[in-house]
Structure 1
Amino acid sequence: MNAHDPAWAQHRLLASRRREFLGAPIHALTMAETLAIADEAMTLRRPLHHVVVNVAKLVNMRNNAELHEDVATADVVNVDGIGVLWGARLCGVALPERVAGVDIMINLLSLCDTRGYRLFLLGAEQSVLDAVRMRLARDHPGLVVAGMRNGYFKPEDEAGIVEAINASGADCLLVAMPTPRKERFLKRYRDELTPSFVMGVGGSFDVYGGKVARAPKLVQAAGLEWLFRVAQEPRRLWRRYYDTNTAYAALLCRELWGRRGRRKVDL
């Protein structure tokens, strides 16, 4: 059994870079620093639970106590969304850069290949997993994929899946399921999973496997990646983004107004 290691909270870099924004913990880390911590966890075999936050997750955390707990108790919390990066900076929270979950995953694949870490992939459709396997064989022929399992399973199947993950000897577990399902799964089995680095990657398998196109870098830099996604699946996504973006704008306005009021009191 791989019990949770509370010592990560005292890790020099993580302790010095922990911030808070809209009631959520975040770490002011670069991509290189994030990968170095993942490498450290897998080298030392110290269990580390990683999550990312974007606008939708920040909004949903306000109304979902379980999701808030799942994120707040993770060891590393990166800023995925450009909207969170800009909003935090606007509120005076210094962050070095956006560290997107899909980019972390792609870099982790290279890290695991180079360092000989074993990988387990959980989630997405079986056809997507098959496409991911084929691309990995091209991109990283030396990478050891210890196991794969699609994300279509019932709650009663979870114990067996955890057993299969542990039996695989994987060092790194990537979970491609939607929020809050992936966060709940990783929190629920945190003390049982033996991979040293576990991370929820959402729809990143869909991107890597070619099912979903990622926005061009200029669109990402402009903060319009969400609009690119809506254009691909308008019926499914337009209301979700409308609701979360407007809710986030309201939260941000209240936060800025509150900070303005506190500054006046201090004067």
Structure 2
Amino acid sequence: MYENQKINQEKILGNNGRIQILNTIIDVLNVQETIDLVEQYIVTKTPLHLMGVNADKINEVNDNEIMKKIVNSCGIINADGASVILASKFLKKPLPERVAGIDLMQSLVALSEKKQYKIYLLGAKQEVVEQTANALKKQHDKLKIVGIHNGYFKREDWNKIGLELKEKDPDIVFVGITSPLKEYLIEYLQEQGNNAVFMGVGGSFDVISGNIPRAPLWMQKMNLEWLFRVIQEPRRLFARYFIGNWKFIIAVLKERKTIKNGKTI
């Protein structure tokens, strides 16, 4: 990230509190505080990589130095996982609440309609991203969607995508591409000079388009949305959630022991 971008980022962050869980920095923000902060980036045209971390992402940060550098350099890093909230309380540095990626995306879409901010949808299959755009326009008839692009492209196409974004000049780019490619792509696009807010939204396009149902509200309230996803796609997600969660729990237990022993993390 360029030095002037870092200076602008520091001005916007101000006195915002941050904690660290394992090797990952996380902002002490609730949903509304996040929305308010994101809007400051939009109105000042300061580039932002809006990051949401769960247990799987923190495991990835622990194992991947490049990912660690990318995540911890993001302007806003939210706790997008019940396990992260529980870990923060266990480590005696509690976070206020989970900032669910799909809910935050919907809130930012509503804000964009109200303030006439321009959005761009990048990711998923072509028919899915088209359906997502149609669904959002149906919910928000005054929403400005300045462009869409599917997520099936090669590394050599990144420059072309970056040039299109510069031409369309969106305020927010929602990126529905799998990790870690998503993070690498966002970093590339920002280094290219795109001053938008970039937010990775995982499988949110599939949910918004109606192709995949979201967990019932009672499961969301009980922090069981992850289980609903595993039931939907057991082959793809079993290892991530069950094995990954155990890996995360063991690492958090070790960190708690380190803190008790008065050692520096």
TM-score tier by shorter-chain length is over 0.9
Is the 1:88–1:95 Cα contact (8 Å) retained in structure 2? yes
Residue 134 of structure 1 is matched in structure 2 by 134
Q: 1:48 to 1:100 in 2, by over 3 A?
A: same
Amino acid at match of 1:206: D
In the alignment, is residue 159 of structure 1 matched against residue 159 of structure 2?
A: yes
In the alignment, is residue 43 of structure 1 matched against residue 31 of structure 2?
A: no
In the alignment, is residue 77 of structure 1 matched against residue 77 of structure 2?
A: yes
In the alignment, is residue 196 of structure 1 matched against residue 196 of structure 2?
A: yes
Q: 1:148 to 1:117 in 2, by over 3 A?
A: same
What do residues 156-203 of structure 1 show as CA deviations (whole Å, max 9, x unaligned)?
111001101111121111111111111111112212242431111111
Please give the TM-score of this superposition, normalised by the length of structure 2. 0.93
Residue 213 of structure 1 is matched in structure 2 by 213
Unaligned segments of structure 1, at least 5 residues:
none
Residue 115 of structure 2 is matched in structure 1 by 115
Q: Displacement of 1:64 after TM fit?
A: 1.0
What do residues 120-152 of structure 1 show as CA deviations (whole Å, max 9, x unaligned)?
111111121121122112101111111000000
Residue 59 of structure 2 is matched in structure 1 by 59
Please give the TM-score of this superposition, normalised by the length of structure 1. 0.92
Q: 1:103 to 1:161 in 2, by over 3 A?
A: same
Whole-angstrom distance in 2 between the partners of 1:93 and 1:211? 38
Whole-angstrom distance in 2 between the partners of 1:53 and 1:15? 21
Whole-angstrom distance in 2 between the partners of 1:246 and 1:23? 17
Is the 1:3–1:47 Cα contact (8 Å) retained in structure 2? no
Residue 87 of structure 2 is matched in structure 1 by 87
Q: Displacement of 1:8 after TM fit?
A: 4.7
Pairwise CA RMSD: 1.8
Whole-angstrom distance in 1 between the partners of 2:14 and 2:139? 31
Is the 1:70–1:187 Cα contact (8 Å) retained in structure 2? yes
Amino acid at match of 1:185: L
Aligned pairs, number? 262
Whole-angstrom distance in 1 between the partners of 2:213 and 2:14? 33
What do residues 37-64 of structure 1 show as CA deviations (whole Å, max 9, x unaligned)?
1111111222222111001000111111
Whole-angstrom distance in 2 between the partners of 1:30 and 1:224? 20
Residue 185 of structure 1 is matched in structure 2 by 185
Whole-angstrom distance in 1 between the partners of 2:223 and 2:8? 32
Whole-angstrom distance in 1 between the partners of 2:222 and 2:10? 36
Residue 169 of structure 2 is matched in structure 1 by 169
Is the 1:4–1:47 Cα contact (8 Å) retained in structure 2? no
Q: 1:214 to 1:109 in 2, by over 3 A?
A: same
Q: Displacement of 1:105 after TM fit?
A: 0.5
In the alignment, is residue 149 of structure 1 matched against residue 131 of structure 2?
A: no
Whole-angstrom distance in 1 between the partners of 2:76 and 2:8? 9
Describe the SS at the equivalent of 1:11: helix
Whole-angstrom distance in 2 between the partners of 1:122 and 1:196? 13
Q: Displacement of 1:9 after TM fit?
A: 4.8
